[in-house]
Structure 1
Amino acid sequence: MKSNTIKAGSRTYSGGINMMAGYYSAFTHARVYEELEKRCAYRDLDILDVGAGHGAFTQRLLDGGYTHLYAIEGYCEFQVPEATLFKMNLNEDWDLLHDQQFDVVVAIEIIEHIENPFHFLRQIRAHVKDNGYVFISTPNPLNFMDRLRILRTGHLSMMEHPDHRVPVFPDNMNKYCQECGFEIEAQTYDIDMLATHSATLKGKLFKPVMRMIRSLVVKNGESLVGNSNIWVLRPGESQRYTPPEFEG
């Protein structure tokens, strides 16, 4: 029987400089689980939920039959006692994990809150097995509606969030992965926000018009669709760029 004690979609904000944790878009949450389950069928895998908040995704894993669950959370009151909790600041070295490695690492809507994405991904790389999987999601700054807002205001809407530090564009993510030792197996998205049903007459008229405009003006439409981007990563070799020695 599935638990209803933890609801995806609640927002919990941190004070000070600590990262926000505890918000999971219901669509992102479900899509990450779908991508994980089709690749990770064995239920005894060691799975680490990074920035787990109150434990919504950890609980979903538990409800799905996964039994070896771990979580990192430094602010919210984690509510899944069946999982092993590490309390730490994700902006620092993950020393509490020591040499422990995991089959799967999940970070849902977390990397945009981190001060240094390179450091964050290197910490994940150090704690995922060489044959493991990493699932990362982050708000999509290139979706069609946000591009319209940029034209109108000159600002990224995601950066209006008080705890968003870094917008992660696909090109940025490619660079992060290349230098931190990951290969991108797949990139997908959670949901096309222009395809969802609207309760108001304005929304019912507006979204079909926006879909038509998007189809006419956009060549590579997938990057403009999702509310959040989702990456499936496999450990690989770091290809860090080294500039040529200065000759002067």
Structure 2
Amino acid sequence: MKRCLHCDASYDSGLAHCPVCGRGPAEVDGFVAYSPQFARDGGGFKAGYYAELARLEGANFWFRARNALILWAIGKYCGRFQSFLEIGCGTAYVLSGVAGAYPSARLRGSEIFVAGLGFAAQRLPSAEFVQMDAREIPFREEFDVVGAFDVIEHIEEDERVLVQMHAALKPGGCIVITVPQHAWLWSETDEYACHVRRYSASELHRKIEAAGFEIERSTSFVSALLPALMASRLARKKSAGKAFDPLAEFNISPWLNKALETVLAAERALIRLGISLPVGGSRLVVARKPAAR
């Protein structure tokens, strides 16, 4: 079902306009826009980052390892799903991985900025892409799975986003979320990325459960690289005043990139065995909306 953002009525997903008030979404740069007022300047992210992401994601160890973990979690906990919504899909790097693993699923990606949707549609023409504000999701009980991968840390009203995700899910559906973790890892990199926060496990769990979800799996990841992350942050503090290079952590040699990806693959093997890692640069949570009774 769709949710009308003007009168709050629910109506059939196949309809373009609300049958109650007659209103519907706008169109911006060829994309359906549910919150067009934010399409070019929505806050929480910089539209210029999409080109950087498109250049880096496919080869970088962190993006590749995170994708592998996300796809494993979806397969393990979400079962045979037919519909998937990604909030903050960026350039559709994750969504293209989902498409490859689940070719029969109906995929929809969303972004607050239309600038990102151009990259996404080019990478994955088979999916549907829409502009929307995650704080006002225009769907009710529409999707089997909703994902948000390093997204909610950009949004002040993260608890509202989780409530909206819950409403957009069918009963029994699940969310898959990744976030940066540990406030003590906060650095200029977070500021450059427009993060509002880094989470603790307890904070994230509390907010997810308050939105009505039941947590099925929660684990840290990028745990093996935590000493290197801490050393990097400490070194940056000691060199305060020097120009900050936001891409320094991505511009590494091919052999090191491969080695780090191998390390994270070994870490992922532990997670697959059922071991939930207590600390790490990021956290993965899978949670389910209770089935209707």
Shorter chain as denominator, the TM-score bin is: 0.5 to 0.7
- Between 1:53-62 and 1:170-179, the stretch displaced more is 170-179
Change (3 A) 1:123 1:158: farther
The separation in 1 between residues aligned to 2:164 and 2:180, in whole angstroms, is 21
Deviation at 1:158, TM superposition (A): 5.6
Residues matched between the structures, number? 191
- Is the contact between residue 221 and residue 277 of structure 2 (CA under 8 Å) also seen in structure 1? no
Deviation at 1:166, TM superposition (A): 2.3
- Which position in structure 2 is the counterpart of 1:134? 175
The reply on whether 1:93 has 2:131 as its aligned counterpart is no
Question: Which of these residues, 146, 153, 166, is aligned with residue 112 of structure 1?
Answer: 153
Post-superposition Cα deviations, 1:135-171, rounded to whole Å, max 9, x if no partner, equal: 00001226xxxx4xx6xxxx55664334101222111
Post-superposition Cα deviations, 1:91-138, rounded to whole Å, max 9, x if no partner, equal: x3123x3x3521011111101111211101001000011111110000
The separation in 2 between residues aligned to 1:40 and 1:157, in whole angstroms, is 35
Deviation at 1:18, TM superposition (A): 4.4
Question: Which of these residues, 176, 180, 187, is aligned with residue 218 of structure 2?
Answer: 187
- Is the contact between residue 158 and residue 167 of structure 1 (CA under 8 Å) also seen in structure 2? no
- Which position in structure 1 is the counterpart of 2:125? 81
The reply on whether 1:17 has 2:43 as its aligned counterpart is yes
Deviation at 1:183, TM superposition (A): 1.2
* 1:208-227 matches, cutoff 5 A: 222-224=277-279, 226-227=280-281
- Which position in structure 1 is the counterpart of 2:66? 28
Which consecutive aligned stretches of 4+ in structure 1 deviate over 4 angstroms post-superposition?
20-24, 155-158
Partner SS state of residue 222, structure 1: coil
- Is the contact between residue 137 and residue 168 of structure 2 (CA under 8 Å) also seen in structure 1? no
- Is the contact between residue 135 and residue 231 of structure 1 (CA under 8 Å) also seen in structure 2? yes
Deviation at 1:45, TM superposition (A): 1.4
- Is the contact between residue 18 and residue 89 of structure 1 (CA under 8 Å) also seen in structure 2? no
Deviation at 1:223, TM superposition (A): 2.6
Change (3 A) 1:118 1:234: same
TM-score scaled to structure 1, two decimals? 0.66
- Which position in structure 2 is the counterpart of 1:211? none
Partner SS state of residue 107, structure 1: strand
The reply on whether 1:122 has 2:163 as its aligned counterpart is yes
Change (3 A) 1:87 1:110: same
Give the percent of matched residue pairs that are identical in Structure 1 and Structure 2: 23
The reply on whether 1:233 has 2:287 as its aligned counterpart is yes
- Which position in structure 1 is the counterpart of 2:32? none
Q: Which AA in structure 2 matches 1:165?
A: V
Partner SS state of residue 72, structure 1: strand
Give ranges in structure 1 of 5+ residues lacking alignment.
Answer: 1-13, 201-220, 238-248
Give ranges in structure 2 of 5+ residues lacking alignment.
Answer: 1-39, 58-62, 229-252, 257-275
Question: Which of these residues, 192, 195, 210, is aligned with residue 164 of structure 1?
Answer: 195
The separation in 1 between residues aligned to 2:163 and 2:153, in whole angstroms, is 15
- Which position in structure 2 is the counterpart of 1:59? 96
The reply on whether 1:174 has 2:218 as its aligned counterpart is no
TM-score scaled to structure 2, two decimals? 0.57
